[in-house]
Amino acid sequence: MPQIDIEAVKTYLLNLQDNICTAVEAADTQEKFLQDQWDREEGGGGRSRVLANGKVFEQAGINFSHVYGKQLPPSATDKRPELAGCQFQAMGVSLVIHPKNPYVPTSHANVRFFVAEKPNHDPIWWFGGGFDLTPYYPFEQDVKDWHQAAKTICQPYGDDIYPKFKAWCDEYFFLKHRSEPRGVGGLFFDDLNQWGFERSFNFMQAVGNGYLSAYLPIIEKRKDTAYGEREREFQLYRRGRYVEFNLLYDRGTLFGIQSGGRTESILMSLPPLVKWQYNWQPEPNSPEAELYNNYLITKDWV
C-alpha cells in the first residue's frame, strides 16, 4: 500500500511560499508582501500574498491554497471516471512575477499535489507543476541558463525527463489563436505518480526550489538595464498576451473561476497594467521583431 504524507507536502508548500516571498522582498529592496488569509466555504482556504509597486517588481503575487471537498466537480471527473464520488484535496503554490523593467522577464511557477480518496480504496494522488519564462527583450544567455537550470533539476530523474517536460511546457503555454508561444518555456508536468510518492514529492520539491535559483540571477543581471518609453510600451503590449493566455486557456485559472474559487487570488496572475493595440506588428530587424523571430519559437535551448 502506498504511503503518502499529506502533511509533509503541506509543510513544504507553506515553507516554499515563505522562502520565495523572502527572496523576492530581498531582491526588491523596497516593498513587502501583504497577505490575505482566506477560507473557502466548501472546505479549505489559502494565503494570498501580493507585493505591488516595488522598486524591481511592479507586481508579484504568490498564492498558497489548500482546498478540499466531499465530492469532485464533474469537470474534474469527466476524464477520470474512477474519481467520481471521491473526497478530494488539492494544495499548491502558484506565483506570477511581473517586473517593472522590460529587460527582466515575467516568470511563473506552480507546484501542486492532488489526492482523491474513497472508502476501502488506496488514495489516488499525483503531483504537478513547473515554471516558465516570458521575456520582452530576451538575452540568449539568460534563456539558456534558465533551461540549463530546468535540465539540471530533471537530470537525476532520467535523461528523458527534461526533454519530456520541456516539450509539455511548450505545448501547454501556447496561444492557439495567435499561433504563438507565451514565452520561452521551461518545465511543465502533471499526473506524476509513477515514481511513487517519495520520488515524485522529491521531484516537485526540486522544481519548487529550483525556480528561484533559475530566476534570481536573471533579475540581478537585468534589473538595472536602462530603458525608455519604447521598451515600456512593448512590455505593456506583450503583457496582453499573458492576459489572453490566462483567461482563454489556463486550466488552473478556468477551473478556479468556474468552480467558485477566490477570484482575487486567481486573477493575481494578471499584469497590473496592460495595452492592446489593433494589429500591431514589430518593425523588421527591430529588437521587438527579434523576440518574435528568435525566441517565440519552439527551440532546444541547451
Q: Annotated catalytic sites, by residue?
A: 108
Cβ at position 216, least distance to its own copies in Å: 23
Q: Can residue 247 be called a binding residue for its own copies (CB under 8 A)? A: yes
Q: Can residue 73 be called a binding residue for its own copies (CB under 8 A)? A: no
Residue 224 exposure: Cα atoms within 13 Å on the Cβ side = 4
Q: Can residue 248 be called a binding residue for its own copies (CB under 8 A)? A: yes
Q: Can residue 235 be called a binding residue for its own copies (CB under 8 A)? A: no
> φ and ψ at 12, to 5 degrees?
-60, -45
Q: Can residue 41 be called a binding residue for its own copies (CB under 8 A)? A: no
Cell of 210: 529550483
Choose the binding region for its own copies from 137-145, 148-156, 213-221, 262-270 (rule: CB under 8 A): 262-270
- Residue closer to its own copies, measured from CB, 57 or 162: 57
Dist. CA 273–CA 239, nearest whole Å: 8
| C-beta separation of 98 from 268 below 8 A | no
Q: Can residue 61 be called a binding residue for its own copies (CB under 8 A)? A: yes
**Judged by CB under 8 A, which of 44, 73, 272, 282 binds its own copies?**
272
> φ and ψ at 59, to 5 degrees?
-160, 130
**Judged by CB under 8 A, which of 6, 167, 243, 302 binds its own copies?**
243
Q: Can residue 21 be called a binding residue for its own copies (CB under 8 A)? A: no
> φ and ψ at 255, to 5 degrees?
-60, -45
> φ and ψ at 45, to 5 degrees?
175, -160
- Residue closer to its own copies, measured from CB, 85 or 260: 260
- Residue closer to its own copies, measured from CB, 195 or 249: 249
Q: Can residue 279 be called a binding residue for its own copies (CB under 8 A)? A: yes
**Judged by CB under 8 A, which of 21, 46, 59, 104 binds its own copies?**
59
What angle, 0 to 180 degrees and rounded to 10, lies between the N-to-C axes of helices 6-28 and 196-222? 0
**Judged by CB under 8 A, which of 29, 144, 276, 294 binds its own copies?**
276
Cβ at position 219, least distance to its own copies in Å: 21
Q: What is the largest CA-CA distance in the chain?
A: 64
**Judged by CB under 8 A, which of 18, 25, 36, 145 binds its own copies?**
36
Cβ at position 173, least distance to its own copies in Å: 16
Q: Which amino acid is at 33?
A: F
Strand partners, 188: 130
- Residue closer to its own copies, measured from CB, 43 or 240: 240
Any long-range contacts for 81-90 (C-beta under 8 Å, 24+ apart)? 82/124, 83/116, 83/124, 85/118, 86/116, 86/117, 86/118, 86/124, 87/116, 87/117, 87/118, 88/114, 88/115, 88/116, 88/117, 89/6, 89/44, 89/114, 89/115, 90/65, 90/66, 90/114, 90/115
Among 129, 112, 131, 124, residue whose Cα is nearest residue 46: 112
Q: Can residue 75 be called a binding residue for its own copies (CB under 8 A)? A: no
Choose the binding region for its own copies from 66-74, 135-143, 219-227, 236-244 (rule: CB under 8 A): 236-244
Apex 174 CA angle, 241 and 76, nearest 5: 105
Enumerate binding residues for its own copies (CB under 8 A): 36, 48, 50, 52, 59, 61, 176-178, 236, 240, 243-244, 247-248, 254, 257, 260, 263-264, 266-268, 270-279
